[in-house]
Amino acid sequence: MTDIRKLPHGRESCVSYYGDYVLKRPLPTLGDEAREKWLVKQHKTKDVIDSIRAVGNPIYNVPEMIHIHDEEYQILERYAPGEPLTAKLFNSLTRRQQVEIVYSLAHFLVDMNESRPVKEWTRHKIADELKFTRLNNFIDNKMARWFSNEEIRFMDRVRNEIGTFEYETRPAWSHCDLNPGNVLYDAKNSRLSFIDFAEAGYQLIYRDIFSIVSMELGIGARVYEAYNEIHNFDLYDIPGPNTENMRKIMKYRLATVLLRRLIKAADDMRLNPANEKSVANNEQKVAFARDVMQRLKELGVGNELV
């Protein structure tokens, strides 16, 4: 008999695959209260999945959550074919397949945003999304250990740019967790599947458009252009993709995705490494930070004094 603790699992669920179906259960290590919260989350997820599936858009796939068995703490879902939509996979595809992916993402985002009323315009300061005390700690206290004065000055300019940028936006119904693991590409059918709607809710409209997936694949501007073509402007208006303000929003939204990763890596750097493993970890995080800084430069962030 298979030990349930050795089954494939995520942070909260064990997963079993049966052909075209997936059976999920809460991890056996979860207590009663956590199991109940798990069950509530599954019902919320099913409501979100049912609402987006009701749109009936054939361009993309959202696997059905077929049944929730409350007493047994089990859910039965359709299997989502494909593999995570990483940059490596995307870059291996034909131009036509890449265009299809851009439009599939745009269709999904429009359908999510339009499935429930958008809220009123609000002024948003993008720095509010970042842990600025942690970013400051990296720039002011850690960088001098591993980075050049030029690199420190660059990050100081990035901090100043991000810290002052504000824009008008709207909260809209969103997926809220569009990373490559939640967007699967099936090469056989040239089709995307979107999974894991547990975090779905109202979010600032550009967060999903310029998501981790858009940043990884380098297609944020193309997705927004396609979104602009498909979107029903009778429901809500959005700026055109070629306006100066929209280009800034694109740039700083993608920069924010990168900075979240840099901050996480910086938190893991040790000023006084205790052993060789810590030294190697620092070297890895420094290399990662330099890669992020290069990508920020390519976006055009931090290149000029503010």
Measured between alpha carbons, how far is residue 15 from residues 5, 74, 114, 142, 237 in Å? 11, 10, 32, 41, 41
Burial class (CB in 10 A: 0-12, 13-18, 19+), 179: middle
- Mean pLDDT by runs of 10 across the 306 residues of the chain is 41 89 94 95 96 97 97 96 97 97 98 96 94 95 96 96 94 97 95 96 96 95 97 94 94 95 95 93 96 96 72
What pLDDT, on a 0 to 100 scale, did the predictor assign at position 184?
Answer: 98
CA–CA distance, 115 with 53 (Å, rounded to integer):
10
Strands (E), 199-279: 201-204
pTM of this structure? 0.90
What pLDDT, on a 0 to 100 scale, did the predictor assign at position 306?
Answer: 47
Distance of CA 238 to the CA centre of its chain: 21
Quote the DSSP letter at residue 80: -
Question: How do strand 83-84 and strand 183-186 relate by DSSP bridges?
Answer: antiparallel
- Helices marked H in 123-210: 132-137, 143-146, 149-164, 206-209
CA–CA distance, 82 with 93 (Å, rounded to integer):
14
What pLDDT, on a 0 to 100 scale, did the predictor assign at position 1?
Answer: 32
